[in-house]
Amino acid sequence: MTDRAETPSAQSLVLEARGVTKHYEGVTALDHATLAVGPGEVHALLGGNGAGKSTLISIISGVTKPDSGKILLGGEVMPASGPLAAISAGISTIYQELSLVPALSVLDNIFLGREIKRKTLGLPLTSDRRSMELAVRDLAADFGVTANELHTPVSEFGALKKRSIEIVKALAFDPKVLILDEPTSGLEDAERQVLFGYMRSMRERGVSLVWVTHHLEELFGLADKATVFKDGRTVATVATESTSIDKLITLMFGADREEFGGGDTRKIAHLQPSSERPVILRARNLTRGSVVRDISLDVHEGEIVGLAGLAGAGRTEVVRTLMGLDALTSGSVELNGRRLSLRNSTAAYRAGLAMLPEDRKQLGILADLSTAQNISISRLSTVTAAGFWMSRRKELALAESYRGQLGIKTPDVNARIGNLSGGNQQKAIVARCLNTSPKLLIFDEPTQGIDVSAKVEVHALVRDYAANGGAAILIASEIEELLELSHRVLVLKKGQIVGEVRNIPAAIEAGEFARIKSEVLTLSAAGQAS
């Protein structure tokens, strides 16, 4: 709590958190955390996964009760009596996972639970959609939602529009504070800019924004202040104009920035061209309807092949066919010269393929199972005695060895994996893949939704895997990440390969990062299939 920027006097604060402490099953999520947000301020909350940001906003928005400490709104203590009380007191929250009901219209979503009623037979039973529309029409227009769209089901809109609808929904009830939890996740670059415009116009309306983000570069020019959390404690509150990404990272992780977002301290672990090494995976003319069209690719020993492309280009679809998760219309796959029949994922794993799926929560973790079970699940024969019955001792030993090797932070590998932070869950799933001793490992968005320090660690895991002779396919939406890790990048568009960029490590070494980046981006956007 040193190094604090000038603190406004308590009276002028809109939102304040004092000494907030919260324990979850054996973990201290918040330890006397503090926060002070002034009126009309964009206030960023920063910190690694598990730093306590999410817990703090869930306490502020009334979802979670703190063990001790208090939240003050406009100088008055808020009773901890649930999310509805927080909303009516003037604190609205837009969560990372969108909380709209897909089947309902935009208007019904905005007024969900707070409908304007009209009297029928003397009772306020009927929703008065006309009054509701009148009440929000102008506001909605300001955030790009037209009067027509108000009556369309939410399920028909994309990520940005849904975010706008959430904003309108929040602003419709004049909040004093609006909490945004990773609002840019799932948005394309151009959409982010639109969202930032919306955030500025909310600030002009006098709403204080509390903004949780992992993307430090987004802060500058938009956030007024940033409060950094680490291990559940408030480290510092700084004015963004007088700080830098490096300083913030030092505050967040206590160490100097290393390997983050294309910095020049980047390490290239493996420079040798790998095209002379033996081919591990040889895929020919993979086709699945119109989603995957005539894809042929080779992956050599020790090589990381990146798949680039815009959203919807078919990157995940290609690897799903390799894993037997989706059936091929035509095409063939050889692994170490042996033809594979890709009936289902079990056969794929047995043949020596493994995949780290995108969307860790939905596709990755088995939340009810322990960390140890999550690690061994893809090859249980590694933890069985006589190949048949499970040995808890072996399971524990295996989990402990990966815990040490990959730096999985958990007090107890036998506790449910759901309690771990995102980065540690991801490392456990990397362990799950490694435990199958795969000949080819597919990483689909390996660092999605995990914090910067865990990102660096996962990058190291990917590199180590290839450096030890493994073959890998990598999908990453962040172009910098893709280029830093891949030896070779194939660019996809509409299910087809539209280009290839080779010898990436050498190019980066020669200082041509910007050139290959623009080459890949150009191909992704405008490439033509040969």
* Dmax (CA) of the chain: 83
In whole angstroms, how close is the CB of 396 to another protein at the nearest point? 11
Q: How far is the CB of 370 from another protein (least distance, A)?
A: 10
> What is the Cβ-side half-sphere exposure of residue 423, based on CA atoms within 13 angstroms?
21
Q: Tell me whether residue 246 or residue 412 sits nearer to another protein (CB atom).
A: 412
Q: Residue 244 or 346: which CB sits closer to another protein?
A: 346
User: Which of 23, 215 has the CB closer to another protein?
Assistant: 23
Residue with Cβ nearer another protein (198 or 349): 349
The alpha carbon of residue 379 and the mean position of all alpha carbons in its chain are separated, in whole angstroms, by 27
What lies within 8 Å, CB to CB, of 515 at 6+ separation is 507
Q: How far is the CB of 147 from another protein (least distance, A)?
A: 38
Output the CA torsion sign for 140, 142, 147, 148: negative
Residue 378 CB, shortest distance to another protein, in Å, is 5
Distance (Å, rounded) from C-alpha 27 to C-alpha 29? 6
> What are the residues whose beta carbons fall under 8 Å from the beta carbon of 520, sequence distance 6 or more?
308, 479, 482, 483, 489, 491, 499, 501
CB of 355 to another protein, least distance (A): 7
Q: Which is nearer to another protein, 118 or 343 (CB)?
A: 343
For residues 38-52, one letter each, b for 16 or more C-beta atoms within 10 angstroms of the residue's C-beta and e for the rest, the string is: beebbbbbbbbbbbb
Q: Around Cβ 145, how many Cβ atoms within 10 Å? A: 23
Output the smallest distance, CB 391 to another protein, in A: 9
Yes or no: say if 110 and 143 are a contact pair by the CB < 8 Å rule: no
Q: Compute how many other C-beta atoms are within 10 angstroms of the C-beta atom of residue 149.
A: 19
Q: Are 257 and 57 in contact (CB under 8 A)?
A: no
Residues that bind another protein (CB under 8 A): 23-27, 323, 325, 344-346, 348-350, 354-355, 357, 362-369, 373, 377-378, 380-381, 384, 388-390, 411-412, 415, 432, 436
Residue placing its CB nearer to another protein in the complex, 138 or 389: 389
Nearer to another protein, 439 or 488 (CB): 439
- Min dist. Cβ of residue 388 to another protein (A): 7
Identify whether the C-beta of residue 331 lies closer than 8 Å to the C-beta of residue 497: no
Comparing CB distances to another protein, the nearer of 236 and 365 is: 365
Q: Choose between 306 and 364: whose C-beta lies nearer to another protein.
A: 364
Do residues 353 and 347 lie in contact, with contact meaning Cβ atoms separated by under 8 Å?
no
Partners of 118 in the beta sheet?
A: 126
CB nearer to another protein: pick between 90 and 423:
423
In the chain, the amino acid numbered 11 is: Q
**Burial class for 148, CB neighbours closer than 10 Å (0-12, 13-18, 19+):** exposed
Residue whose structure tokens are 């415009």? 197
CB of 163 to another protein, least distance (A): 25
User: Smallest gap, in angstroms, from Cβ of residue 25 to another protein?
Assistant: 5
Rounded least distance, CB 357 to another protein, Å: 5
> Nearest CA to 212 among 6, 51, 443, 376?
51
Q: Using an 8 Å Cβ cutoff, are 277 and 466 in contact?
A: no
